[in-house]
Amino acid sequence: MFGLFSSVEKQMRANATNWLELADKIFNYRRDEISAADRADLQQKSEQLRAQLRDKADASKLKLGIEALEPAVRRAGGKFYPRSTIQEYVEFFVVAAIVILGLRAYFVQPFKIPTNSMWPTYYGMTGEVFASEKEEPGVVASAARLVAFGATRRSVDAPVDGDVWVPVSGNRIPSAVVPGRTWFVFPSRVQQITLRVGSELVTVQVPLDFKMDEVIEEAFFSAGAPRTQQVEAGFLPSSRAGQNIPVRWINTGKHVKKGERVLSFDVMTGDQLFVDRMSYHFVRPQVGSGFVFRTDNIRSPYLVDAGGRPVESYYIKRLVGTPGDKLEVRDSALLRNGEPITGSLAFDKNARQEGLYRGYKNQEALLEKKQVEVSTQGYYAMGDNSGNSLDSRYWGEVPYKDIVGRPLFIYYPFTKRWGPAR
């Protein structure tokens, strides 16, 4: 770091030492591969420069000695010298990867918010619906939205003239998990939703954690949208061979002509955070802190895959209870040990249902009791958007060993939430 302030002679001596180390490395590794003449020339020029260093020659003489050694190094260097541009790039990326993996494992880890369980503190993926093709941003605007907000377009065009129908199974829009692509390149699993235009089926694919129900509601059933009571019983093709899903087809009241937009929206990326992995090795997380944890050691039917295996994933929630705490929801407020919980602005805003905060929900049907006592072995986690959060009320406590760290900084997208995490 202080080399900039060294004398010219000292800098030249360091330069000469580096050249000699490279020459010695080439000689030791390639003495059996290079010709006798090149080997002798390399040794001779090396000894001349080494003698100049011993005699404490001035900078100008050392420079001449380096210039005499360099051609000999080039001729004998093989893969050591001169290095190709490709080699330099490979070395750079290998070193960068090692540094990044080290930081990720021990200090700071990037994390992407997939869902809106912590909304409005953190945003998961959301959809921005366009009422018509004319409202869609153009090429330049779409490129800018992609860079700034991670917005990616989804659109469906009508294959025939007809009404638009939406399938409903139970109280939700059914979907299938199918092979797809992330960023149009990387193989992935995606969620596929099927709609109907007249008698023809059309599909749209979105990320697995994306809430497509909200897009369908806004696009076809929001205030001012056409209303209809027409319902038909039918089936939807399943991803499992020979099986179909019984559904109710709901006529949205929207009629389209062949080639017209049926549905158009942008998938806006969720907040992406840097997570501090170091602090919780030394201090325990405090009530009110956001914290990231692993889920693979939480035994719950809510956290298993299709084969019944625990889901190996990362969640972010807010810590609301530590060992021994007694928790309950009264009206829209969360109580801890009989008093309004403190430690985060989100607690107060939820209690008052201020702004976008909707208040805490008890979910008594799941708890089967009004009060929960946290065991000595776990931590209790809840989402700020508790009415739309799968958290400890459903799957129980978080083991301390599975806590990864605390959110530090929202680095993407570039919205008003960019900056230190709350």
Q: What is the mean pLDDT of the chain?
A: 85
| Predicted pLDDT of residue 80 | 58
Contact 270, 112 (CB under 8 A): yes
Q: What is the spatial distance between Cα 234 and Cα 167, in angstroms, rounded to a whole number?
A: 9
pLDDT, tens digit, for every residue of 15-35? 888 888 888 888 888 888 888
Q: What is the spatial distance between Cα 201 and Cα 174, in angstroms, rounded to a whole number?
A: 14
pLDDT at 346 over 90: yes
Class of residue 229 by CB neighbours under 10 A (exposed 0-12, middle 13-18, buried 19+): exposed
pLDDT at 5 over 60: no
User: pLDDT grade, residue 230 (50/70/90)?
Assistant: confident
| Predicted pLDDT of residue 265 | 96
User: pLDDT grade, residue 289 (50/70/90)?
Assistant: very high
Token couple for 198: 């007249």
pLDDT at 3 over 50: no
CATH of 276-420, one of 2.60.40.420, 3.40.50.2000, 2.10.109.10, 3.40.50.10800: 2.10.109.10
Share of the chain above pLDDT 70, in %: 85
CA-wise closest residue to 388 among 173, 209, 208: 209
Which of 44-53, 75-84, 237-246 reaches the highest mean pLDDT? 44-53
Point out the catalytic residue in the list 117, 386, 389, 392: 117
Q: Please state the rounded mean pLDDT for residues 331-350.
A: 94
Contact 190, 95 (CB under 8 A): no
Q: Please state the rounded mean pLDDT for residues 140-157.
A: 94
Least confident range of 222-231, 258-267, 313-322: 222-231
Q: What is the spatial distance between Cα 224 and Cα 252, in angstroms, rounded to a whole number?
A: 12
pLDDT at 179 over 90: no
State how far the alpha carbon of 146 is from the alpha carbons of 62, 210, 292, in Å.
54, 17, 27
CATH 1.20.1270 residue window(s) in the chain: 3-76
Terminal-to-terminal C-alpha distance of the chain: 36
Point out the catalytic residue in the list 45, 211, 254, 317: 317
Give the fold, CATH level 3, of 3-76.
Substrate Binding Domain Of Dnak; Chain:A; Domain 2 (1.20.1270)
CA-wise closest residue to 263 among 225, 299, 320: 225
| Predicted pLDDT of residue 97 | 66
Share of the chain above pLDDT 90, in %: 44
Does the reported pTM lie above 0.75? no
More confident site: 359 or 307: 359
| Predicted pLDDT of residue 208 | 85
User: pLDDT grade, residue 2 (50/70/90)?
Assistant: very low
pLDDT, tens digit, for every residue of 204-229? 999 988 989 989 999 998 765 555 56
User: pLDDT grade, residue 279 (50/70/90)?
Assistant: confident
pLDDT, tens digit, for every residue of 248-262? 999 999 999 999 999
Instruction: Enumerate residues 6+ apart whose C-beta is below 8 A from 54.
Output: none
CATH 2.10.109.10 residue window(s) in the chain: 276-420
Q: Please state the rounded mean pLDDT for residues 233-253.
A: 79
pLDDT at 176 over 80: yes
Does the annotation count 258 as an active-site position?
no
Does the annotation count 300 as an active-site position?
no
User: pLDDT grade, residue 149 (50/70/90)?
Assistant: very high
Q: Please state the rounded mean pLDDT for residues 134-140.
A: 94
Helix ranges restricted to H, 200-356? 212-220, 345-352
| Predicted pLDDT of residue 280 | 86
